[in-house]
C-alpha cells in the first residue's frame, strides 16, 4: 500500500495537470457511464495538429535551433535590463509559433543559463515570472499559440482574420504591460562566460522549417489534418525517431482526458442547466473564474458546449491563464522549472508570481469588459 501511495505521489509531482485531468474524467464516468457517445468527445483535428506541432518542435529542440537563435540575440546585449527584455520577448514571440508550453521549455533554461553564468541569479524569479506571463499572453494572437486557442479555433470554425481581430487589443495591451515590467530592471553591466557551443545544422533546420509550415497549414485548414499528420510523422520517422520520443505525450493525454471530462459534464443535466442559464452574456467573467480552479484548457473545452459567443470566451481562456499557478499548464511548467533551479527562493517566486499575475489579469479583464475589442466595436 505504501509503494502504491508513493508511486501515486511521484506521478502527481511529475504530471499534476494530467493526474487531475484523469481523476476528473474518472469521476464524471460514474455519472455518465462509458457508451458510444464517448467517441464523439474527442476533437481529433485538435489532437492531430497539436501532435504535428510538438513533433517538429522536438526536432528543432534536438538540434538546438532555438538556443542558437536566442543566444545570438542575448549574447550581444550588455546589461541586465537588455538581457531580461531579450529573454522575455524571445519567449513572447516564441509562444506565437511554438505554443506557450514549448516556448517555456525552450527559453526558461536560456534565462537561467544567462543569469547564472553572469552571477545575476537574484533576478531569476522576476525573469521567470515575466517569461511565464509572456508565454501565456504572447501565444494568444495565433490559433496555434496556445492549446485552448487551437481547440476553440477548430470547434467554432473561426475565420483566421476574425480570430486575430478578436485578440488584437488584449495582445497589444499585454505587450505594453510586459514592456513596462521589463524597463524597471536596472542597467547593471553583465558579462557572459563559459558559453556552451552548439553546431548549426543547416539542412535539418530547413527541412524542419518546411515541416513546421506544413503543420501550420494543417491548423489553418489549408491541408487536411490527416494528411498533415501523415506527412510530418513519416518525415520525422526518417529524420529523427528520437524526436518522437521527446513529444509531450502527457499534454496530449491531458487533452484527451479533458475531452472526456467536458463531454460528460455537458451530459449531466444539473450542470448543463446551470451553465446554460448563467453563462450567456457572462462568458468573460465565468471563463476567467473557471480557469483559476480548473486551468484554461479544460475551461475552454467545457464552456464551449454552452455558448456560441466565442469572442469573450476566447479572450477569457487566454487572460484566464494568469492568476493562480494552476490556471494554465504553462504556469505549472514555470513553477516546476524554478523549483528545480532554486528551491530556497520559492517564497520569493510565489510572491512575485501572485503580484504580477493578479495585476495583469485585472487590467486585461477591465480592458475587455470595457468593450474595447476591435471585433466587438464593429
What one-character-per-residue DSSP string does 186-203 give?
---B----SPPP----HH
Contact at 8 Å (CB) between 25 and 257?
yes
Q: What is the pLDDT of residues 211-240, one digit of tens each?
A: 988 988 887 778 898 999 999 999 999 999
Q: Which three cell numbers stand for residue 364?
A: 486585461
CA dist 60 → 106, 150, 176, 274 (Å): 10, 21, 30, 45
The whole-model pTM stands at 0.76
What one-character-per-residue DSSP string does 67-136 give?
HHHHHHHHTT--BHHHHHHHHHHHHHHHHHHH-HHHHHHHHHHHHHHHHHHTT-GGGHHHHHHHHHHHHH
**Residue recorded with cell 546585449:** 77
Q: Which three cell numbers stand for residue 146?
A: 496556445
What angle do the packed helices 283-294 and 296-303 form, to 10 degrees?
A: 130
Query: What is the helix (H) or strand (E) element at residue 359, kind and residue range?
Result: helix 346-369
What are the backbone angles phi and psi of residue 79, rounded to the nearest 5°? -140, 170
Q: What is the pLDDT of residues 256-291, one digit of tens each?
A: 888 888 788 878 888 878 888 888 888 999 999 988
- Each of the 378 residues of the chain gets a pLDDT tens digit; together they read 666 666 666 667 677 768 888 888 899 999 999 999 998 888 888 788 878 888 888 898 888 886 677 667 666 777 889 989 989 998 999 888 777 877 887 788 888 877 877 788 889 999 999 999 999 999 899 888 888 898 899 889 999 899 999 999 999 999 999 999 999 999 888 775 656 677 888 899 999 999 988 988 887 778 898 999 999 999 999 999 999 998 888 878 888 888 888 788 878 888 878 888 888 888 999 999 988 977 788 889 889 988 888 999 999 999 999 998 888 878 877 887 888 788 788 889 999 999 999 999 999 999 988 875 555 544
Contact at 8 Å (CB) between 271 and 34?
no
The CA distance from 219 to 295, in Å, is 23
CA 67 to chain CA centroid, Å, is 19
Closest of 243, 245, 197, 236 to residue 67, by C-alpha:
197
Arithmetic mean of pLDDT over the chain: 85
Burial of residue 125 (CB within 10 Å: 0-12, 13-18, 19+) is buried
CA dihedral 353, 358, 364, 367 (to 10 degrees): -160
Q: Which three cell numbers stand for residue 132?
A: 511565464
Contact at 8 Å (CB) between 46 and 150?
yes
CA 24 to chain CA centroid, Å, is 21
The CA distance from 187 to 167, in Å, is 33
Amino acid at each position: 500500500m505504501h509503494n502504491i501511495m508513493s508511486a501515486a505521489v511521484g506521478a502527481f509531482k511529475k504530471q499534476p495537470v494530467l493526474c487531475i485531468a484523469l481523476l476528473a474524467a474518472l469521476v464524471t464516468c460514474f455519472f455518465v457511464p462509458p457508451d458510444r457517445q464517448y467517441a464523439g468527445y474527442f476533437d481529433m483535428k485538435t489532437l492531430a495538429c497539436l501532435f504535428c506541432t510538438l513533433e517538429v518542435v522536438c526536432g528543432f529542440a534536438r538540434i538546438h535551433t532555438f538556443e542558437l537563435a536566442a543566444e545570438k540575440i542575448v549574447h550581444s546585449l550588455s546589461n541586465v535590463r537588455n538581457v531580461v527584455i531579450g529573454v522575455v520577448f524571445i519567449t513572447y514571440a516564441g509562444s506565437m509559433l511554438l505554443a506557450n508550453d514549448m516556448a517555456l521549455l525552450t527559453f526558461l533554461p536560456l534565462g537561467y543559463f544567462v543569469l547564472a553564468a553572469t552571477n545575476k541569479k537574484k533576478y531569476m524569479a522576476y525573469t521567470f515570472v515575466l517569461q511565464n506571463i509572456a508565454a501565456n499572453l504572447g501565444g494568444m494572437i495565433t490559433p496555434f499559440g496556445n492549446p485552448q486557442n487551437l481547440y476553440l479555433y477548430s470547434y467554432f470554425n473561426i475565420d483566421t482574420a476574425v480570430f486575430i481581430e478578436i485578440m488584437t487589443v488584449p495582445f497589444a495591451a499585454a505587450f505594453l504591460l510586459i514592456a513596462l515590467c521589463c524597463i524597471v530592471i536596472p542597467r547593471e553591466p553583465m558579462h557572459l562566460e563559459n558559453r556552451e557551443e552548439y553546431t548549426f545544422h543547416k539542412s535539418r533546420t530547413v527541412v524542419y522549417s518546411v515541416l513546421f509550415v506544413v503543420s501550420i497549414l494543417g491548423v489553418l485548414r489549408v491541408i487536411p489534418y490527416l494528411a498533415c499528420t501523415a506527412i510530418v510523422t513519416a518525415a520525422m520517422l526518417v529524420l529523427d525517431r528520437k524526436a518522437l520520443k521527446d513529444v509531450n505525450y502527457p499534454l496530449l493525454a491531458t487533452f484527451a482526458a479533458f475531452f472526456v471530462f467536458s463531454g460528460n459534464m455537458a451530459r449531466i443535466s444539473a450542470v448543463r442547466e446551470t451553465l446554460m442559464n448563467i453563462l450567456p452574456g457572462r462568458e468573460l467573467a465565468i471563463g476567467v473564474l473557471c480557469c483559476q480552479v480548473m486551468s484554461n484548457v479544460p475551461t475552454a473545452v467545457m464552456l464551449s458546449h454552452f455558448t456560441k459567443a466565442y469572442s469573450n470566451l476566447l479572450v477569457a481562456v487566454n487572460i484566464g491563464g494568469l492568476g493562480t499557478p494552476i490556471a494554465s499548464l504553462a504556469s505549472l511548467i514555470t513553477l516546476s522549472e524554478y523549483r528545480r533551479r532554486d528551491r530556497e527562493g520559492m517564497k520569493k517566486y510565489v510572491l512575485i508570481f501572485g503580484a504580477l499575475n493578479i495585476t495583469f489579469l485585472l487590467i486585461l479583464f477591465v480592458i475587455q469588459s470595457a468593450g474595447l475589442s476591435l471585433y466587438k466595436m464593429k
